[in-house]
A and B are shown apart, each in its own frame.
Chain A
Amino acid sequence: MKDTSQHSMNPLDEAGKPDTYEELAEAGKSRGGLFGRVNQAFQEALTSSRGTRERSPVEEAGDDPHVTADDLAIRRAKSVKPQRMIIPEGVIIDGSMTSGSETEISGRVEGDVTVEGRLYLGASALVSGNVRATSCRVDGLVEGRMECTEELELGTSGRLNADTMAGKRIILAGQVFGNVSTGGVLRLVSSGKLTGDIRARRLVIEEGAIFNGGCVMRAPAQRREAPKQA
């Protein structure tokens, strides 16, 4: 108690106290030992996803008043390194979002989600918009078209309220209200509930699964040839 009051009384300490984020990071670096190294690693992790320092709109745009955010975005896009993104529960995003790599969403998104990489929608995730990802695991609710290039996995707590598509595989253990189509395998696990039509090349329905709808399993040309062979 005494110590702290003494510290605050000291004018030198007050002046040297790091007040900005950058100063804090610098102060951490100068301190040696384990604490310094841990602090440094922590700071680097924090700042790594904040973009490179060299870019500033003032330098890039110069004195030209007509340079818009669109122009700068196009210019920079080629050299951007995609970063991992996490949207925790309690965060609302009103608008579309795009991510270049692995993404985890547990919050609320009112707009389209586009992810180049794996997308994980946690149990508390609520997305009302179209979702597009390379592969995806859904434990929350999606109200919008779901499109995956490779795999889609719907957990037992997951629910999809619109059409769903995946290039290679779909595993359904939750509820789906909408049509499901895939160029590969569709697996309806015992806890899965599907109300809608299926379009798939291969189909597995486990005992206990509920499926109400129609099913088409071949492309038109193959469908036509089928009766000739039989």
Chain B
Amino acid sequence: MQLIQEQAVSRPQREAPEILVVGGGKGGVGKTCLAANLAVEVARRGWRVTIVDADLSCSNVETVLGTRSERKLDDFFYQRGGKDLRCIVCDTQYENLTIIPGTTGLLDVANPKYQQKVALIRELKALQADLIVVDLDAGAHLNTLDFFLMTETNGILVITPEKTSIDNAFKFLRASLFRRVERFYESPEVAHLLKRLESFREFVECVRTSALFDGETREAICRELVALARAMKPKIVVNRARNAYEAQIAANILSKHSRQHLMIEPENLGYMVFDNRVSETINSGTPLVVSYPKLKVSQCIADLASRLGYF
């Protein structure tokens, strides 16, 4: 009997944790708020969750969660206290939830070397957890894009029902797709073409008609490109919507543009309803799902967690 139990313990529970990256292009749309609340909600349902603050310049997951820890992501980049990312994982006041705090925001940390970034992503995938929530920063620079492309499908795009936000989310998606293509081919010609074109569909057409490749390779490359775009299945969450109708309209506009120009078919994951108390909870350092579990917004977050399959 004991033998069986020992075998059960020694066997690895899961090969790799699921990774959920929360991005969205525009700042202030509620990426950190969603990431923190979703992490707390999923952790309360009995999943081991690690939340990672990948906002290298302006980190504030700790503020939203109301935790304070000694260790920072800086320690990993400068390898103080070991090369292991597991040393930086800190406990929080919530059961099953651990946190990898962000950087101090000092001058050099916001631009890690490529190797450091790759090492971080590799270590993240080796963490002992069921779910890793990665909170990204605003904008579409290379670090953010590389973190967003860490997983093929599990990226969340947070938008608000405003034109600016929808526009930025589209640009963010386009940049990440182009980055993906660039990394896939690693050829200067492709990079050169990508920098000139606004639409991915145009780019595919460009390759189809270009004289650089012969007929068969051309078709093969086009097929590869389309497959690269189709493999991306970002999920849209509309934050600060007054009602479901408004959320759906915003999500539909983004999906329409990504379908037309990028050949990406995003999934509409859901929305978070507008509530004044959200900013109150951010200031108080208690996540929404803890302080106001009965509110409509908290229900929305619970709903998002269910839709992602975390019961």
Contacts and interface: CB of A to CB of B under 8 A. Distances in A.
A33 B190 CA distance: 78
B214 to A, nearest CB: 41
Interface in B228-263: 242-246, 248-250, 252-253, 256
Contacts of A100: 243-245
B94 interface: no
Contacts of A218: 46
Given A78-B246, A149-B303, A71 B163 contact: yes
A220 interface: yes
Nearest to B302: A167
A26 to B, nearest CB: 31
B242 A78 contact: yes
B188 interface: no
Given A74-B250, A201-B311, A219-B311, A114 B45 contact: no
Contact of A77 (B246, B302, B307): B246
A80 B248 contact: no
B248 A98 contact: yes
A221 B48 contact: yes
A221 B311 contact: no
Contacts of B307: 147, 165
Nearest to A167: B306
A224 interface: yes
B32 interface: no
A183 B299 contact: no
Contacts of B309: 181
Chain A, interface size category, equals 20 to 34
Contacts of B306: 147, 149, 165, 167, 183
Nearest to A219: B46
B301 to A, nearest CB: 11
Given A70-B253, A167-B302, A227-B8, A77 B46 contact: no
Interface in A163-177: 165, 167
A222 B46 contact: yes
Contacts of A73: 249, 253
B242 A77 contact: yes
Contacts of B245: 77, 80, 82, 98, 100, 116
B224 interface: no
Nearest to A80: B245
Contacts of B244: 82, 98, 100, 114, 116
Contacts, number: 82
Contacts of B268: 114
A118 interface: no
A159 interface: no
A108 interface: no
B130 interface: yes
Interface in B72-111: 96
B13 interface: yes
A74 B249 contact: yes
Interface string A172-197: 00000000011100000000000000
Contacts of A96: 252
B248 A221 contact: no
Interface string A72-87: 0110011010100000
The CB with the most chain A CB atoms within 10 A, among B243, B310, B311, is that of B311
B161 interface: yes
A167 B299 CA distance: 10
B14 interface: yes
A220 B310 CA distance: 10
Contacts of B252: 96
Nearest to B166: A74
Contacts of A219: 45-47, 310-311
B311 A74 contact: no
The CB with the most chain A CB atoms within 10 A, among B13, B47, B249, B256, is that of B249
22 contacts: A74-B162, A74-B253, A77-B245, A78-B161, A80-B243, A80-B246, A82-B243, A96-B252, A98-B245, A114-B244, A114-B248, A147-B306, A147-B307, A167-B303, A167-B306, A183-B311, A201-B311, A219-B45, A219-B46, A219-B311, A221-B96, A222-B46
Ordered nearest first, which 3 A-B pairs have the shortest CB separation? A219-B46, A116-B244, A77-B246
Given A74-B249, A82-B245, A149-B303, 16 more contacts: A70-B249, A74-B250, A77-B242, A77-B249, A77-B250, A80-B246, A96-B252, A98-B244, A149-B306, A165-B306, A167-B306, A182-B311, A218-B46, A219-B310, A220-B47, A224-B13
